[in-house]
Structure 1
Amino acid sequence: MRKVPLTVAVKDYDRTKAIFSGLAPIEGCDVVPLAVDAEECFHRAIKFQEFDVSELSLSSYMVTVSRGENAYIGIPAFVSRVFRHSGIYIRTDRGINKPEDLRGRTVGVPEYQITANVWIRGMLKDDFGIKPDEIHWRRGGIEQPGRDERSPIKLPPGIDLQQVPDDKTLSGMLENGEIDAMMTARTPSCFDQGVPNVGRLYPDFKTVEQDYFRRTGFFPIMHLIGIRKILVEQYPWLPVSVYKAFLAAKNIAIRELNDIGQLMATLPWAIDHYNETRRVMGEDFWPYGLKENLKTLEAFARYHHEQGLSVRKVAPEELFAPSTLDLSKI
């Protein structure tokens, strides 16, 4: 049987490298792997459907699913997960010492809909009772001016979201004191450069995030893998083949973390960090599959709908090709 040509666009994480090397082949496919930065993947996939298989933002994908406009169908391979307490940056001269101090403040976001900020707003509401309409939101590029939402959104009444001036960046505005805080997946340059009066809300974010995991069981999902729906209709076996390959690639990466004979990561004490992670989060600390992530996905779907991003509450199983829902233990 002739193999199906398949373009696969994903960032070259350790957990996807075996897709690029061929150690984790996609059965029945002739793969053309493309190492593309995540934000570029999202833009090109959502706007133009350029890739057969693509890394997708969980939030932007859920927006399209809720509207019945998704050109991709997901598989439960979560190639990016990050705790986000570390992503809240503040002016340290504004009396912001705890999350509750964010009420009434002006906070910059690169996009209102990005997955990281959905998780942060959800955490602020669940843990501290802070609602999105209690903050003044300002949207713009972190380091380059002019960023807007990648998918159009219509927010509930009472949400104060305004675009920053076209010549301004959020990092510059935080540095100059034009905003009080910033929520972002990427570290702003003003923080990296040690600008006075710029810091994190949670300087000891690792301790806070480990406590969050112990309390909630959530390891926040950022990105998943999607396949163009038109291809799945043509090749119904494709989702399982793609899922199995990404699962195998992730398992290869996890095994390599435990290789003390030759360090695969360029960190002298990587094995100690690996063992600490297992103690805190368990052996399967980066699970794929719907069942293993159901509570996390249910929480995200609730946050997404409460924040007005999805037009209806999406059930987690709607996000994925049905054939992939019970394959996590392959």
Structure 2
Amino acid sequence: MPTPLKVLLGDYPHTRPLKEGTVSVEGVECRYPESSPLPPAFARMVRDLAYDICELPMATYLQARDAGIPVTLLPVVLVGSTHHRSLTRLPEGPEIGPRDLVGHRVGVRAYGQTTGLWVRGWLREEYGVESSDVTWVTTEDVHVAQYVNPPYVERSKAERVADLLHSHDVSAAVLGPKAIGGQGAGLVPLVADAERAGQAWIERHGTIPANHLLVVRDEVLRDTPDAVLAVYQALKQAIADTAGERDDSPAGRAVAAGWSPGLTACMEIAGRYALQQGLVRDAVDVAAIERKTAFLDA
């Protein structure tokens, strides 16, 4: 009898083959609930363990692990890219640069948002701007209920991050890739040549920032490891089969399945950034994370 699993995945070329049944998951009866937008589903996963296998942002996973929430990372990058273009300002406003943000207010959806994790990482690394040098103005709570924001984070009543800019409540705003083309239309990056800066980050670190990964409930992994393996193998096949639908941009190249030196480096950098920014309390042991799912590609 097939093992029933509730699998929450976003809608991408590399996930549709599973949802549409063109790539089968052997021995598993997958149900694919939809969530539009996706972020509320991420909160349901880490607060209520609402799904058996679930797409999850990098920062949310790191915070969930730090809080002891029983989920295990599966080595799949569903969404990723560079984020130097994600720090934006009004085109008619002052032409401020990243270093000018010290003492200023910056909008971000939540302090635990993964795009913000990566932006604050390169701000510190390349411009010497510490997270605590800025007041981060948020429009949503973090996904992990146990986490308490640091004192330099302030909650706004605004519904959208771009609204904070247009009301002149903040000097700059962090917007994810989808928001750049939506509510962020017309905004300009603080980094003059954001694409080149992002490429320099990739060359320096030997990896591409991952935004969304995949996790499984520990109980499901323990009780039905073969079913988890089947989902992983099907998704890995779908990612390989749809490679021609992705371009050579960082976003296209980030999508991958399987532990690799690039994914290990990505996890180590994200873990270091998260610790520096107070998103997690303890250093992230990437080797321990890898060991839990080494069997997937054995």
User: TM class by shorter-chain length?
Assistant: 0.7 to 0.9
- C-alpha contact (below 8 Å) 2:89/2:190 kept by paired residues: yes
Task: Decide which moves more: 21-30 or 120-129.
Answer: 21-30
5+ residue gaps, structure 2, are: none
1:132 partner letter = S
Q: 5 Å matches for 1:304-315?
A: 304-315=274-285
Say if 2:144 is the partner of 1:151. Answer: yes
Following the alignment from structure 2 to structure 1, what is the Cα–Cα distance between the partners of residues 11 and 93? 39
Aligned pairs for 1:67-106 (under 5 A) are 67-68=67-68, 70-92=69-91, 95-106=94-105
Q: Secondary structure at the match of 1:237?
A: helix
Q: Unaligned 5+ residue runs, structure 1?
A: 141-146, 258-273
1:182 maps to what in 2?
A: 173
Structure 1 residue aligned with 2:126: 127
Deviations 1:97-129 (A, max 9, x none): 422111111111110011111111011111111
List per-residue Cα deviations over 1:138-158 (Å, max 9, x = no partner).
111xxxxxx2222232355xx
Match of 2:226 among 237, 240, 244: 237
Deviation, structure 1 residue 167: 5.3
Distance 2:194 2:281 in 1: 33
Matched residue SS, 1:76? strand
CA distance in structure 2 between the aligned counterparts of 1:191 and 1:167, rounded to whole angstroms: 15
Name the counterpart of 1:290.
Answer: 259
**Match for residue 201 of structure 2?**
212
Change (3 A) 1:317 1:26: farther
8 Å contact kept, 1:75–1:321: no
1:173 paired with 2:164, answer: yes
Is the contact made by 1:25 and 1:245 (CA closer than 8 Å) also made in structure 2?
A: yes
| Letter of the structure 2 residue corresponding to residue 300 of structure 1 | A
Alignment check: 8 A CA contact 1:154 1:308 kept: no
* Conserved? CA contact 1:290–1:317, under 8 Å: no
Deviation at 1:134, TM superposition (A): 0.9
1:301 aligned to 2:271? Answer: yes
Distance change >3 Å, CA 285–CA 221, structure 1 → 2 = closer
Q: Say yes or no: does 1:24 pair with 2:17.
A: no
Find the counterpart in structure 2 of residue 107 from structure 1: 106
Q: Give the deviation of 1:72 after TM superposition.
A: 2.2
Tell me what 1:260 maps to. none
State the Cα distance separating 1:325 from its structure 2 match: 5.9
Aligned residues between the structures:
292
CA gap 1:190/1:28 in 2 versus in 1, 3 angstroms: closer
Q: How far, CA to CA, are the matches of 2:152 and 2:44 in structure 1?
A: 29
Judged with a 3 Å threshold, the aligned counterparts in structure 2 of structure 1 residues 162 and 148 are, in CA distance, closer, same or farther, namely same
Counterpart residue type for residue 297 of structure 1: M
Between 40-49 and 111-120, the greater mean CA deviation after superposition: 40-49
Report the aligned-residue RMSD: 2.5
Residue matched to 1:271: none
Q: Structure 1 residues 322, 125: closer, same or farther in 2, change over 3 A?
A: same
Cα drift, residue 57 of structure 1: 1.6
Is this contact kept in 1: 2:104–2:171, CA < 8 A? yes
Q: Decide whether the 8 Å contact of 1:96 with 1:102 is kept in 2.
A: no
**Equivalent residue in structure 1 for 2:152, among 154, 157, 160:** 160
Deviation for aligned residue 1:188: 7.8
Shift of 1:284: 6.6
Q: How much has 1:181 moved relative to structure 2?
A: 0.6
Larger radius of gyration: 1
Amino acid at match of 2:257: Y
Give identity over the alignment, percent.
21
Per-residue deviation at 1:174? 0.6
Report the equivalent of 2:61.
61
Partner Cα distance (1:247, 1:106) in 2 = 41
